[in-house]
Amino acid sequence: MDIEQANKEVLRRILDAQPVLVGVAPAREVIPRMGERTILHAGPPITWERMSGPMRGAVIGGILFEGWAQTEEEAVALVERGEVTFDSCHHHQAVGPMAGVTTPSMPVYIVENRAFGNKAFCNLNEGLGKVLRYGAYSEDVLARLRWMRDVLGPVLAAALERTSGIDLKSLIAQAIHMGDEGHNRNKAGSALFVRVLAPSLVRSGADAATLADVFEFLGNNDLTALNPVMAACKATMDAAHGIPGSTIVTAMARNGTDFGIRVSGLGDRWFTAPSQVPQGLYFPGFKAEDANPDIGDSTITETAGIGGFAMAAAPAIVQFIGGTPRDALNATLEMYEITAGENPAFGIPALDFRGTPTGIDVRKVVETGIVPRVNTGIAHKQAGIGQIGAGLVQPPMECFEQALLALAEAFDAPDEPEQVSGETA
Amino acid sequence: MDIEQANKEVLRRILDAQPVLVGVAPAREVIPRMGERTILHAGPPITWERMSGPMRGAVIGGILFEGWAQTEEEAVALVERGEVTFDSCHHHQAVGPMAGVTTPSMPVYIVENRAFGNKAFCNLNEGLGKVLRYGAYSEDVLARLRWMRDVLGPVLAAALERTSGIDLKSLIAQAIHMGDEGHNRNKAGSALFVRVLAPSLVRSGADAATLADVFEFLGNNDLTALNPVMAACKATMDAAHGIPGSTIVTAMARNGTDFGIRVSGLGDRWFTAPSQVPQGLYFPGFKAEDANPDIGDSTITETAGIGGFAMAAAPAIVQFIGGTPRDALNATLEMYEITAGENPAFGIPALDFRGTPTGIDVRKVVETGIVPRVNTGIAHKQAGIGQIGAGLVQPPMECFEQALLALAEAFDAPDEPEQVSGETA
SS3 category, A283: coil
The answer to whether residue A188 scores a pLDDT higher than 50 is: yes
The answer to whether residue A151 scores a pLDDT higher than 50 is: yes
Q: Is there a single domain that holds both residue B149 and residue B251?
A: no
Are the C-beta atoms of residues A289 and A297 closer than 8 Å to each other?
no
**Per-residue confidence (pLDDT) for residue A57, from 0 to 100:** 96
Report the gap between the CA of B236 and the closest CA in chain A (Å): 25
Q: Say yes or no for a CB contact (<8 Å) between A352 and B324.
A: yes
A330 contacts on B by Cβ (under 8 Å): none
**Per-residue confidence (pLDDT) for residue A420, from 0 to 100:** 40
Write out residues 270-299 of B within 8 Å (CB-CB) of A: none
Which of A177, A211, A219 is nearest residue B179 as measured by Cβ atoms?
A177
**Of A262, A275, A322, A381, nearest in space to A10 by CA:** A262
Q: Say yes or no for a CB contact (<8 Å) between B198 and A198.
A: yes
Q: Is there a single domain that holds both residue A117 and residue A217?
A: yes
Q: Is there a single domain that holds both residue B108 and residue B216?
A: yes
pLDDT above 90: percentage of residues in chain B: 88
Whole-angstrom Cα distance, residue A359 to residue A169? 16
CA dist B58 → B42, B96, B99 (Å):
11, 12, 6
Q: Say yes or no for a CB contact (<8 Å) between A350 and B350.
A: yes
Q: Is there a single domain that holds both residue B316 and residue B381?
A: yes
Report the gap between the CA of A379 and the closest CA in chain B (Å): 26
B211 touches chain A (CB under 8 A): yes
Residue-wise pLDDT for B29-63, tens only, equals 999 999 899 999 999 999 999 999 999 999 999 99
Q: Say yes or no for a CB contact (<8 Å) between B179 and A174.
A: no
How many C-beta atoms surround the C-beta of residue A345 within 10 A? 18
pLDDT above 70: percentage of residues in chain A: 97
Residue-wise pLDDT for B260-299, tens only, equals 999 999 999 999 999 999 988 899 999 999 999 999 999 9
Which of B179, B202, B353 is nearest residue A215 as measured by Cβ atoms?
B202
Are the C-beta atoms of residues A93 and A232 closer than 8 Å to each other?
no
- Is residue A1 assigned to a domain? no
Widest pairwise Cα distance in chain B: 68
Provide the residue type at A348 as one letter: I
- Chains A and B form CB pairs within 8 A to the count of 102
Domain encompassing residue B296: 242-424
- Is residue B198 assigned to a domain? yes
Q: Kindly indicate the confidence band of residue B1, based on its pLDDT and cuts at 50, 70 and 90.
A: low
Please give the tally of structural domains in chain A: 2
Which of A199, A315, A353 is nearest residue B219 as measured by Cβ atoms?
A199
Q: Supply the Cα-derived Rg of chain A in whole angstroms.
A: 20
Mutate to test the interface with B, among A155, A163, A190, A202 (most CBs of B within 10 A): A202
Report the gap between the CA of A36 and the closest CA in chain B (Å): 36
Whole-angstrom Cα distance, residue B198 to residue B302? 29
Write out residues 366-425 of A within 8 Å (CB-CB) of B: none
**Per-residue confidence (pLDDT) for residue A413, from 0 to 100:** 65
Q: Is there a single domain that holds both residue A15 and residue A142?
A: yes
- Is residue A152 assigned to a domain? yes
Whole-angstrom Cα distance, residue A108 to residue A120? 10
ipTM of the complex model: 0.93
The answer to whether residue B243 scores a pLDDT higher than 80 is: yes
Whole-angstrom Cα distance, residue B60 to residue B365? 37
B162 touches chain A (CB under 8 A): no
**Per-residue confidence (pLDDT) for residue A320, from 0 to 100:** 81
Phi first, then psi, for residue B240 (nearest 5°) are -100, 0
A179 touches chain B (CB under 8 A): yes
**Which among A198, A230, A262 is the end of a domain?**
A230
CATH number, domain containing residue B52: 3.90.1710.10
- Is residue A236 assigned to a domain? no
Residue-wise pLDDT for B149-208, tens only, equals 999 999 999 999 999 999 999 999 999 999 999 999 999 999 999 999 999 999 999 999
A202 contacts on B by Cβ (under 8 Å): 202, 208, 211-212, 215
**Per-residue confidence (pLDDT) for residue A16, from 0 to 100:** 98
CATH number, domain containing residue B367: 3.90.1700.10
- B248-264 residues labelled b (16+ CB within 10 A) or e (exposed): bbbbbbbbbbbbbbbbb
Q: Is there a single domain that holds both residue A402 and residue A305?
A: yes
pTM: 0.94
Report the gap between the CA of A194 and the closest CA in chain B (Å): 6
Q: Is there a single domain that holds both residue A287 and residue A363?
A: yes
**Per-residue confidence (pLDDT) for residue A414, from 0 to 100:** 55
A198 contacts on B by Cβ (under 8 Å): 194, 198, 215, 219
Q: Is there a single domain that holds both residue A139 and residue A245?
A: no
Q: Say yes or no for a CB contact (<8 Å) between A212 and B202.
A: yes
Mutate to test the interface with B, among A178, A192, A218 (most CBs of B within 10 A): A178
How many C-beta atoms surround the C-beta of residue A7 within 10 A? 24
- Is residue B92 assigned to a domain? yes
Widest pairwise Cα distance in chain A: 68
B325 touches chain A (CB under 8 A): yes
**Of B75, B84, B88, B79, nearest in space to B31 by CA:** B88
Q: Is there a single domain that holds both residue B306 and residue B381?
A: yes
Residue-wise pLDDT for A14-49, tens only, equals 999 999 999 999 999 999 999 899 999 999 999 999
How many C-beta atoms surround the C-beta of residue B218 within 10 A? 26
A195 contacts on B by Cβ (under 8 Å): 190-191, 194-195, 215, 219
Which of A208, A215, A350 is nearest residue B315 as measured by Cβ atoms?
A350
A91 touches chain B (CB under 8 A): no
- Sign of the CA dihedral with A398 first, then A400, A403, and A407 last: negative
Q: Kindly indicate the confidence band of residue A173, based on its pLDDT and cuts at 50, 70 and 90.
A: very high
Whole-angstrom Cα distance, residue B167 to residue A284? 26
Q: Kindly indicate the confidence band of residue B138, based on its pLDDT and cuts at 50, 70 and 90.
A: very high
The answer to whether residue B416 scores a pLDDT higher than 90 is: no
Q: Is there a single domain that holds both residue B28 and residue B56?
A: yes
How many C-beta atoms surround the C-beta of residue A104 within 10 A? 18
Whole-angstrom Cα distance, residue B423 to residue B411? 10
**Per-residue confidence (pLDDT) for residue B425, from 0 to 100:** 33
**Which among B203, B230, B257 is the end of a domain?**
B230
- Is residue B236 assigned to a domain? no
* Higher-scoring residue by pLDDT: B105, A279: B105
Phi first, then psi, for residue A38 (nearest 5°) are -110, 135
Q: Say yes or no for a CB contact (<8 Å) between B174 and A187.
A: yes
**Per-residue confidence (pLDDT) for residue A415, from 0 to 100:** 52
**Of B25, B99, B13, nearest in space to B56 by CA:** B99
Residue-wise pLDDT for A305-337, tens only, equals 999 999 999 999 888 888 889 999 999 999 999
**Average pLDDT estimate for A291-309:** 97
**Average pLDDT estimate for B21-26:** 98
Mutate to test the interface with A, among B163, B166, B174, B177 (most CBs of A within 10 A): B177
Tell me which of A79-83, A261-265, A279-283, B37-41 is least confident.
A279-283
Q: Is there a single domain that holds both residue A170 and residue A258?
A: no
Residue-wise pLDDT for B376-400, tens only, equals 989 999 987 888 998 888 899 999 9
Residue-wise pLDDT for B303-352, tens only, equals 999 999 999 999 998 888 888 899 999 999 999 999 999 999 999 999 99
Q: Is there a single domain that holds both residue B180 and residue B284?
A: no
- Is residue A39 assigned to a domain? yes
Residue-wise pLDDT for A67-119, tens only, equals 999 999 999 999 999 999 999 999 999 999 999 999 999 999 999 999 999 99
Q: Say yes or no for a CB contact (<8 Å) between B199 and A212.
A: yes
- A257-286 residues labelled b (16+ CB within 10 A) or e (exposed): bbbbbbbbbbeeebbbbebbbbbbebeeeb
- Is residue B237 assigned to a domain? no
**Which among A176, A208, A230 is the end of a domain?**
A230
Report the gap between the CA of A315 and the closest CA in chain B (Å): 6
